[in-house]
Structure 1
Amino acid sequence: MSDISKVKTIGDREQRTGWILLLPAVLLLLLVFAYPIGRAFWLSLFTKNLGTQLQPIFSGLDNYARMMGDGRFWQSFWTTTLFTLTSVGLELLLGLCIALVLNQQFRGRGLVRAIAILPWALPTALIALAWAWIFNDQFGVANDIPIRLGLIKSGINWLGEPTLATIAIIFADVWKTTPFISILLLAGLQAIPPDLYEAHAIDGASPWQSFRLITLPLLMPQILIAVLFRFAQAFGIFDLIAVMTGGGPGGATEVVSLYIYATVMRYLDFGYGSALVVVTFLLLVMAVALATFLLKKSRVQTSGAIDL
């Protein structure tokens, strides 16, 4: 047997071994991930039998056609999109600033890092309850402090007015999850070789130029990963809004997850609720595909930055 054949045989054996080792994880993913989505798609093809309310009726894609004319769904979808884009954008900006600060050398840095991650480590339902009391129109700190400072004369109904309620839940979500992004970005910052900054400074570059030409290109993979995780979490948010506003006032803060919950658990319309789940899942898959494309593109830019 020639050397080339031996190398090919060894490579095939290692590849088979790798697939065998991956098989349990793949089966687990199929059980936990693929089966529920497939089951939801199957249920979405049925509607309730309004006559007997016992046996569902196969209706094909009627639930999806119904969704196209469902104004409440599109309103919740717009609310979810607005909430996701605004909160993730603010979290990325604030998280990057915090990561840059935590990456510097100063006394007590370890303690500050531990404290900075506490909001993310606390249970979301508990945090939501705390923020609901903070924004309470009668007893909340958000009204008490401005009144004491003379900035306002009477309490503001933060959670009773649509725009203010949206601002309140975005503020609470940004406070809760910004540490998650800052920790991910901090790990990326620590992986950047300090020699690059020193060489760039010797060439006469300013700190802003070093940040723009070195930090951002090399940090782009971590940024995209953080945005991908947070986009999926924010788009499917439930507990924070359910505790703070319950989707009110008047459905102004009702996101897709709350609408799905009401459809399935309150109205017992499992077919239409499953259709909503499938569409939401497809939207998340599209976001993942886009983020993956951007991630591959950023790796190419990162390789070019390192070569320079």
Structure 2
Amino acid sequence: MTTSDTAATQSPAASRRRGGQRGTKVRRQRVRAAWLFLVPMLVTLVLVAGWPLVRTFYFSFTDASLANTGGASFIGFENYLVYYQGAWYGLLTDPAWWQSVWNTLFFSAVSVSLETVFGIIVALILNAEFKGRMLVRAAVLIPWAIPTIVSAKMWAWMLNDQFGIINHLLMTIGVIDSPLAWTADADLSMWAVIIVDVWKTIPFVALLVLAALQMLPQDCYEAAEVDGIHPVKVFFRVTLPLITPALLVAVIFRLLDALRVFDVIYVLTSNSTNTMTMSIYARQQLVEFQDVGYGSAASTLLFLIIALVTVIYLYLGRRQLGGEA
């Protein structure tokens, strides 16, 4: 019997086994190649992010100071909470810390919500057909391209209560009678910071949503137009569900940035308790008060809060996508 006759008489099951073995071998080779490409990035990530994070965790359980980090002593959870001479002390009993937590959550919730709504509106406008669309798309990205420190300083001048252009315009059109101290007034400072952050980051959300809109199938909209369905109903029934995955990505990135916000608020209002976030609080303890142990405890809680919020958001987003599927 020839070789071709032998191959022809083999069972289909044997052929499938050989094919499965070859597929498994190729799959293993691809996995090994993927890990070879990932190892340099993982090593860099451990050195750049992992090691400082571990040291921060360690310092949060010590009495380290900025002048003497090497001679720190282990004190357990005293930086977080300790009962001493009939009273509780520590980070968890500090009203300034809890005020910074509230400021951070409020800032994140309001700014990300506004950025999402306005980002979708801008993306829908940019997705429409009109003359000069490419020029408008390029212009919309300018706020996002400007460095945060530069845009914050620019807005600080514009919001100045003595010579700022914002007060001048509002007084010209009769909205206000006297200049407002946008960054110094306790009732206005947080909203001033939110306005600046929303102005800068709307293009980021709009860009991701616009990319999702460009990939939507047009037959759905053609059928809706033929049936005479109102555009608003088409948006909520067709467009919004289809762009939800991209929208979830945009929101999670913005939420992570908002929870650890530092630069824009510090430039506009410095250490004001009305706008102090968890990052600014940790920086104040570490640098100005030179208490590395206490500041590391604040940084550790900041990390845990961000991780918790991220996990909850991803879980809820996965459930929503799973329910729609």
RMSD: 2.1
Partner residue in 2 for 1:86: 110
Distance in structure 2 (CA, Å) of the matches to 1:19 and 1:168: 46
Partner residue in 1 for 2:182: 158
Q: Please, which moves more after superposition, 53-62 or 221-230?
A: 53-62
Counterpart amino acid of 2:37? L
Once the two structures are TM-superposed, the CA of residue 298 in structure 1 deviates from its matched residue by: 4.5
Distance in structure 1 (CA, Å) of the matches to 2:35 and 2:175: 65
CA contact (8 A) 1:120 1:176 kept: yes
Partner residue in 2 for 1:44: 60
Once the two structures are TM-superposed, the CA of residue 58 in structure 1 deviates from its matched residue by: 0.5
Once the two structures are TM-superposed, the CA of residue 203 in structure 1 deviates from its matched residue by: 4.0
Describe the superposition over 1:241-298 as per-residue Cα deviations: whole angstroms up to 9, x where unpaired.
11111132xx111111111111001111111111111111111112222233244334
Match status 1:214 vs 2:238:
yes
Match status 1:201 vs 2:228:
no
> What is the TM-score normalised by the length of structure 2?
0.86
- Measured at CA, do residues 96 and 253 of structure 1 come closer, stay the same or move farther in structure 2, by a change above 3 Å? same
CA contact (8 A) 1:217 1:298 kept: no
Once the two structures are TM-superposed, the CA of residue 301 in structure 1 deviates from its matched residue by: 5.1
Partner residue in 2 for 1:15: 31
In the TM superposition, 1:95-114 aligns within 5 A as 95-114=119-138
Match status 1:34 vs 2:53:
no
Structure 1 unaligned residues grouped into runs of 5+? none
Match status 1:277 vs 2:299:
yes
Q: Please, which moves more after superposition, 282-291 or 68-77?
A: 282-291
In the TM superposition, 1:199-278 aligns within 5 A as 199-248=223-272, 251-278=273-300
Q: Please, which moves more after superposition, 103-112 or 197-206?
A: 197-206
Match status 1:286 vs 2:302:
no
CA contact (8 A) 1:44 1:271 kept: yes
Counterpart amino acid of 1:276? A
> What is the TM-score normalised by the length of structure 1?
0.91
- Measured at CA, do residues 149 and 48 of structure 1 come closer, stay the same or move farther in structure 2, by a change above 3 Å? same
Describe the superposition over 1:93-121 as per-residue Cα deviations: whole angstroms up to 9, x where unpaired.
11110000000011100000000010111
- Measured at CA, do residues 53 and 201 of structure 1 come closer, stay the same or move farther in structure 2, by a change above 3 Å? closer
Counterpart amino acid of 1:45? F
Partner residue in 1 for 2:40: 24
Structure 2 unaligned residues grouped into runs of 5+? 1-13, 82-89
Q: Which has the larger radius of gyration?
A: 2
The DSSP-based 3-state class of the residue aligned with 1:46 is coil
Match status 1:134 vs 2:138:
no
Counterpart amino acid of 1:163? D
Counterpart amino acid of 2:154? A
> In the comparison of the two structures, how many residue pairs are matched?
300
Distance in structure 2 (CA, Å) of the matches to 1:25 and 1:48: 31
Distance in structure 2 (CA, Å) of the matches to 1:121 and 1:178: 12
Identity %: 36
